Amino acid sequence: MEFNLSGFPAAEAQQKKVESVRLLVLGSGPAGLSAALYAARAELTPLVLTGVEIGGQAGLTFIIENYPGFPEGVGGYQLGELFQKQAEKFGARVEFETASAVDLSRRPFKISTYGADYLADSLVIATGASSNHLGIPGEKELTGHGVSYCATCDGYFFKEKRVVVVGGGDSALEEGLFLTRYASSVTIVHRRDSLRAGAILQKRAHDNPKVNFVWNSVLTAIVGDHLVEGVKLKNVVSGEESLLPTDGVFIFIGHTPNTELFKGQLEMDERGYIKTDMLMQTSVPGVYAAGEVADPNFRQVVTSAGMGAAAAMQAIKYLEKEEVQSPGVA
Ligand code: NAP
């Protein structure tokens, strides 16, 4: 029997609704919703499938201070709502659906969800990236019981508690600083003796009396019976091992692009990011990729939004060219 990625027999899929669209956007973060805005203004009535993380990773950010136009900063979730409202105002349709399979081998491209098969003349992939895990004992077992990958989502549960933050990048410091609102202490454990994070965040972290650092150290296990009670640490220079009592562990060690659906269909780099040219074009004509799914370098809300707009502009040109070459096909 044939199965699709969602695990449903292919026979059931035959009962699904089938709908044709000019442009389909996968993902509802800054890249996806910006692509939808531009495509909507070109009167393509784009369809956005949100995926499970509506608003993408930006939507989980408490406050975004570096998106131009908001000198006082803007809530990540609030910014996502504004993006969506603006795209919808011009005719974009946003559906709370997740693609379970895609077929990019012929046009129209087929994008399958649990309830529908969409046939799209062009596609913008903006599926973003997901948090990396440490892969150590206790991490999986205690996720949701003291282990978290989102301070904005879970920080509130750590009022007057001790937390450990893992990582030395912007995310670790930004989220660690956010946690100082609730936690009694925030211990940042970093595998080296210097941080990757930008200067402003470093200064804020060093100046905050609740933040302290454990350098040159990695977690080897997270321990606790039902709830996190501590972390096992290893100093990578001296080899010394220790146990640090804590109530929570927040892990911010980078991301992996969400490209599983496209493996074998689109060219990717060795880390799984979708390869695009300067014009956001992937290895399949008519398929564009934007935002963190195709960007291991910048990964900012503003750059993702810009990539989304550029991808849509190229998709619009692609569809227009096709109409000129084969009038009446669309
Ligand atoms: P990142 O910059 O890749 O940093 C990941 C951190 O985790 C690094 O310090 C890395 O250590 C550490 N790490 C990686 N794997 C590890 C492991 N297995 N065990 C222990 N530590 C590990 O990721 P990010 O902080 O999520 O930032 C991603 C991008 O988003 C960056 O471009 C960043 O500038 C951007 N961002 C910006 C802002 C902002 O502008 N406010 C906020 C958040 C994110 P090493 O340093 O030793 O490699």
- Residues 182-231: pLDDT tens digits? 999 999 999 999 999 999 999 999 999 999 999 999 999 999 999 999 99
pLDDT at 65: 87
For atom 14 of ligand 1, which residue has the closest CA?
A: 253
**Ligand 1 center to 168 CA (angstroms):** 6
* H or E element, residue 301: helix 301-325
Q: 153-164: string of b/e by CB count within 10 Å (b at 16+)?
A: ebbeebeebbbb
For atom 7 of ligand 1, which residue has the closest CA?
A: 253
* Atom nearest to 132 CA in ligand 1: 15
d(CA 222, CA 232): 6
pLDDT at 289: 98
> DSSP secondary-structure letter at 274?
B
Q: Quote the tokens at residue 32.
A: 């996806």
pLDDT at 12: 52
Is 150 noted as a catalytic residue in this protein? Answer: yes
pLDDT digits (tens, 9 = 90+) for 8-55: 555 554 578 999 999 999 999 999 999 999 999 999 999 999 998 888
Catalogue the E-assigned strands of 89-191.
93-95, 101-103, 109-112, 116-125, 129-131, 147-148, 162-166, 185-189
Q: How many CB atoms are located within 10 Å of the residue 66 CB? A: 11
pLDDT of 2 > 60? The answer is no
List, in sequence order, every residue forming a beta bridge with 255; answer none if it has no partner: 131
Q: What is the mean pLDDT of residues 112-118?
A: 96
pLDDT of 5 > 80? The answer is no
* Atom nearest to 134 CA in ligand 1: 18
* Inter-CA distances, 22 with 30, 39, 148, 265, Å: 21, 10, 39, 20
Confirm whether pTM is higher than 0.75: yes
pLDDT digits (tens, 9 = 90+) for 49-81: 999 888 888 887 778 888 999 999 999 999 999
pLDDT digits (tens, 9 = 90+) for 236-268: 999 999 999 999 999 999 999 999 999 999 999
The CA angle 43-304-274, to the nearest 5 degrees, is 95
Q: Looking at 103, 153, 193, 269, which residue is catalytic?
A: 153
Return the closest-CA partner of residue 107 out of 124, 90, 121, 88.
121
The CA angle 38-40-43, to the nearest 5 degrees, is 120
pLDDT at 321: 92
Q: Quote the tokens at residue 195.
A: 């941080």
Q: Which residues line ligand 1 (CB under 6 A)?
A: 66, 134, 166-172, 174, 191-192, 196, 218, 252-255, 299
Is 153 noted as a catalytic residue in this protein? Answer: yes
d(CA 249, CA 244): 11
Q: Looking at 154, 170, 247, 295, which residue is catalytic?
A: 154
Q: Please, are residues 244 and 277 in contact by the beta-carbon 8 Å criterion?
A: no
Query: For residue 328, what pLDDT band results from cuts at 50, 70 and 90?
Result: low
pLDDT of 3 > 70? The answer is no
* Residue 211 CB-half CA count within 13 A: 25
ω into residue 108 within 30 of 0, thus cis? yes
pLDDT of 327 > 90? The answer is no
Question: What string of DSSP letters covers 178-234?
Answer: HHTTT-SEEEEE-SSSS--S-HHHHHHHHH-TTEEEE-SEEEEEEE-SSS--EEEEE
Cβ contacts of 101 within 8 Å, gap of 6 or more? 4, 5, 6, 110, 111, 112, 261
Is 154 noted as a catalytic residue in this protein? Answer: yes
Q: Please, are residues 142 and 154 in contact by the beta-carbon 8 Å criterion?
A: no
pLDDT digits (tens, 9 = 90+) for 123-155: 999 999 999 999 999 999 999 899 999 898 889
pLDDT of 4 > 60? The answer is no
* Atom nearest to 190 CA in ligand 1: 21
**Ligand 1 center to 197 CA (angstroms):** 7
For atom 30 of ligand 1, which residue has the closest CA?
A: 299
Q: Looking at 103, 117, 121, 150, which residue is catalytic?
A: 150
pLDDT at 14: 59
Phi and psi at residue 256, to the nearest 5°: -120, 130
**Ligand 1 center to 218 CA (angstroms):** 15
pLDDT at 53: 82
For atom 41 of ligand 1, which residue has the closest CA?
A: 170
Three-state DSSP at 247 gives coil
Lowest-confidence pick of 37-41, 101-105, 143-147, 284-288: 143-147
